[in-house]
Structure 1
């Protein structure tokens, strides 16, 4: 272990550790070589965080505070993001059924369509993954599905 930080001790990473090697390879494949977040954002004319927010409310409508938590942003920034998405006609705020003081952010039809376009880009597997044998894909799916 090395010196700690505000969030806890910093662990030394050992490339001989199989978990470290696998994680580095997964990260390299998904983020370094095939990060499609920018392409998805460009395709729908939004920033990556706005795409994430839109995908979140399509998955499950939420109060602004819950959406901020799911996006790991503070509430004022989530408000800015939702305000922009609402101006674009991609989301709407509706009164909460149990508490009329609260609003629920949900996607409009246009928002659902934009989210589907972004998802199609982000969920398209890279050629390296498509080229794996069916048995290898099944094993990878099994292992990743256990998390």
Structure 2
């Protein structure tokens, strides 16, 4: 049995397979998944699992160099924004880039996988760019 918080087999496999610069998207329940991009669907019902909890668990194993958000999350004052700012300040998310939501969806075409949560707050999506531990 694993000692770290991440127990989901598909997510654990994904993180273990990442190379420097690979992209993992964690998205809300409504984010479209581009054709050809792996979907790891965790959504059970509205809000379960939520975006922030899912992000924190992924970060328990993934080294992140930078992250990308849709600028609309700032305009909508999402409840997740405080947690994102705290994670960014603590260095867990690396540097931040902002794109329009449409440009974010285009970026997601390059993702190794999209992790769908049950989050139903708009624009609760993040692209994590893998870093290295050395």
Q: Whose Rg is larger?
A: 1
Greater relative contact order structure (CA < 8 Å, 6+ sep): 2
Higher helix share: 1
TM-based fold match above 0.5: no
Higher strand share: 2
Q: What is the TM-score when the length of structure 2 is the normalising length?
A: 0.30
